[in-house]
Amino acid sequence: MAREAIHITDVSPRDGLQNQAVAVSTADKLELVRRLAAAGVASVEATSFVSPKAVPQMADAAELLREVQAAWPALRVSALVPNVRGLERAQAAGAREVAVVLSATETMNRRNINMGLDEATEVSAQTLQQARAAGLATRAYVAVAFECPFEGAVPAERVFALAQRMAAAGAQELVVADTIGAAAPTEVKARLATLLQALPGTALAVHLHDTRGLGSALAFAALEAGVRRFDASVGGIGGCPFAPGAAGNLATEDLVLMAEGCGLDTGISLPGLLHAVDHAEAVLGRPLGGRSAAWLRRQQERGLLG
Active site residues: 240
From the list Zn ion, ligand COA, none, pick the one residue 181 interacts with, judged by a Cβ distance below 5 to 8 Å according to partner type.
none
Between residues 121 and 233, which has the closer beta carbon with respect to Zn ion? 233
Number of residues in contact with Zn ion under rule CB under 5 A: 1
**Closest distance between Zn ion and the C-beta of residue 11, in Å?**
7
Cα-Cα-Cα-Cα dihedral of 126, 208, 257, 19, to 10°?
A: 90
From the list Zn ion, ligand COA, none, pick the one residue 89 interacts with, judged by a Cβ distance below 5 to 8 Å according to partner type.
ligand COA
Which residues between 22 and 51 bind Zn ion (CB under 5 A)?
Answer: none
Length of the chain, in residues: 306
Task: Round to whole Å and give the CA distance between 210 and 118.
Answer: 29
Q: Which stretch binds ligand COA (CB under 6 A): 30-38, 49-57, 187-195, 245-253?
A: 49-57
Between residues 108 and 296, which has the closer beta carbon with respect to ligand COA? 108
Between residues 108 and 293, which has the closer beta carbon with respect to ligand COA? 108
Q: Which stretch binds ligand COA (CB under 6 A): 42-50, 201-209, 267-275, 276-284?
A: 42-50
89-to-20, 184, 207, 256 alpha-carbon distances in Å: 23, 37, 25, 33
From the list Zn ion, ligand COA, none, pick the one residue 18 interacts with, judged by a Cβ distance below 5 to 8 Å according to partner type.
ligand COA
From the list ligand COA, Zn ion, none, pick the one residue 125 interacts with, judged by a Cβ distance below 5 to 8 Å according to partner type.
none
From the list ligand COA, Zn ion, none, pick the one residue 107 interacts with, judged by a Cβ distance below 5 to 8 Å according to partner type.
none
The count of other CB atoms within 10 Å of the CB of residue 107 is 15
Task: Round to whole Å and give the CA distance between 232 and 245.
Answer: 18
Query: 61-71 and 84-92 helices cross at what angle (nearest 10)?
Result: 50
Closest to 221 in 3D by CA, of 246, 179, 258: 258
Q: Does 60 bind Zn ion (CB under 5 A)?
A: no
Q: Is 69 exposed, middle or buried (0-12, 13-18, 19+ CB in 10 A)?
A: middle
Which residues between 58 and 117 bind ligand COA (CB under 6 A)?
Answer: 80, 82-83, 85-86, 89, 101, 112-114
Q: Does 248 bind ligand COA (CB under 6 A)?
A: no
Q: Does 15 bind Zn ion (CB under 5 A)?
A: yes
Question: Which residues have a Cβ under 8 Å from the Cβ of 213 and sit 6 or more positions away?
Answer: 291
Instruction: Give the containing element (helix H, strand E) for 48.
Output: strand 43-48
Binding mask 221-240 for ligand COA (x = CB under 6 A): -------------------x
Between residues 15 and 60, which has the closer beta carbon with respect to Zn ion? 15
Task: Round to whole Å and give the CA distance between 20 and 57.
Answer: 8
Q: Alpha helices, DSSP H only, in 212-251?
A: 215-225
Contact 76, 108 (CB under 8 A): no
Question: Which positions touch ligand COA (CB under 6 A)?
Answer: 18, 48-51, 54-55, 80, 82-83, 85-86, 89, 101, 112-114, 240, 242
Question: Which positions touch Zn ion (CB under 5 A)?
Answer: 15
